[in-house]
Amino acid sequence: MYIGIDIGTSEVKALLLGPEQRVIGSAGSALSVSRPHPGHSEQNPADWWAATLAALAALRAAHPAEYAATEAIGLSGQMHGAVLLDAQDRVLRPAILWNDTRCAAECSEMMAELPALSELGGSLAMPGFTAPKLRWVARHEPEIFQRVAKVLLPKDHVRLMLTGEHVSDLSDASGTLWLDVRRRDWSDELLALTGLSRAHMPRLVEGSEASGQLKADVAQALGLRPGTVVAGGAGDNAASAVGMGAVEAGQGFLSLGTSGVLFVVTPDYQPNAASATHAFCHAVPGRWHQMSVMLSAASALQWVSDLLGAANAGEVATRATSLSPQDRTASPLFLPYLSGERTPHNDANVRGSFHGLDFDTDAARLGYAVMEGVSFGLLDGLAALHAAGSSVSRLSLVGGGARSPFWAQMLASALDVEIVTHGGSAVGGALGAARLGALSVGAPMASVCLPPPVDTVYCPDPAERALLAPRHELFRSLYRRP
């Protein structure tokens, strides 16, 4: 038995994995986000630990015998968050999260001071990343910065509570802008940009390696065996990839949730920072991955559904399916940049818009336009990955948007790749974390990192692709217009 713990932004989820990769059960505990000022996003690290204890207690109550037989624990978590600790491991301030945008000026300064930053770190300096957050703290909260002894990522603070060890894995550390991603080690040059050194950083391990063992008192409180191994784990996207069996070059997934993520495994380090992609270490040794990220995906469909007064986003998606090909070509074009955009534009100030509205525009056409616009944004992201050397022929589709067969088919045609969905199969960070736990105690990768059963396969439709191609060209031209 193996436990996976995923420290999300809105929930901590714990999953119990049994023999033959069978999910025994899962439990969750909700989290809240504090926004003390515009653009700020913070959480109290103590809340992650409390939610972890609650989720594990629920899992223990539901499956006591299987839970007690746990051999290893894996961790997954929201990336980029900054947990600042003093020399006694006391938290100095609330953690600054991945979706906090306060440090845009610091990002510009870092890029100017070290032009090699993106080649070393695999990405442009962006406000979501950890390093510019520390530069902001040094400038605006110098008394706190002077007391910083360690900087941990969210899941690694939970690891500290479990094991007493300061450790991170390479996939999560890739999102700090302190890691030399090619060398899979901390970069003294990048650390110097924020006035920090290796002494401030946790020890690094591969995600599939052991990072420590449960402390005796923690094991007793949790009802687990003393010495239970805690694996390195992974950042949320890399953990999700492990959960979907995407560990070999060319394998990947498309997450159509609040944001949109294209994730492709690469055999080596392949950065393309100019197009705002991310090149990070994967959670297993000797592999890297590329990501393109768009900031508004399925959330854009929810937004237009709320505007239209629909019961839910599924209702608007269903209306869109009724449109004929002629109606689709007469629909408005939608730029999905409701909160700026990352890949490929890295433009925090661009905003969404509809183009081509007329008196024939109705709810069905608006819904179609939004689904198409998000698909085009993902196509632009895939083009950025291709430009960096990635190739992919099949993508697993996960997230809320995966519930729409119409959207899945549109994505297959727009991206010209096979799209597969996995129905009700358990996927996500907690499953990947549990699998990394299994690997850390010697389970073979070939029997652990299996893809979940395929529910439906969507192949590119040449007729739909021909309909979408000229609209995509117009879509791309609209961003470039003043």
Higher pLDDT, 128 or 157: 157
Q: What percent of the chain has pLDDT above 90?
A: 82
Q: Does the fold of domain 245-421+452-482 match that of domain 2-238?
A: yes
For CA atoms 154, 181, 98, 199, give the dihedral sign: positive
95 pLDDT more than 90:
yes
Binding-site residue numbers are 79-80
Residue 261: beta bridge partners? Answer: 255, 293
What pLDDT, in 10s, does the model give residues 31-72? 999 999 988 999 999 999 999 999 999 999 999 999 999 999
Q: What is the pLDDT of residues 315-368, one digit of tens each?
A: 999 999 999 999 999 999 999 999 888 888 888 778 999 999 999 999 999 999
Written as one letter, the residue type at 197 is: S
Q: Which residues are annotated as a binding site for substrate?
A: 79-80
CATH architecture assignment, domain 245-421+452-482 = 2-Layer Sandwich (3.30)
pTM for the full model? 0.89
Whether domain 2-238 has CATH 3.30.420.40: yes
Give the domain ranges of the chain.
2-238, 245-421+452-482
User: How many Å apart are CA 354 and CA 478, to the nearest integer?
Assistant: 10
State the catalytic residue, choosing from 156, 172, 236, 380: 236
**Mean pLDDT across the chain:** 94
Q: Vertex 22, ends 16 and 28: CA angle to 5°?
A: 30
89 is catalytic: no
Q: What is the DSSP string of 464-475?
A: HHHHHHHHHHHH
- Burial label for 480, CB within 10 Å (0-12, 13-18, 19+), is exposed
Spatial distance between the Cα atoms of 104 and 375, rounded to a whole number of angstroms:
28
Q: How far is CA 146 from each of CA 84, 176, 282, rounded to the nearest angstrom?
A: 11, 20, 33
Report how far residue 288's alpha carbon sits from residue 266's, in angstroms, rounded to the nearest whole number.
Answer: 5
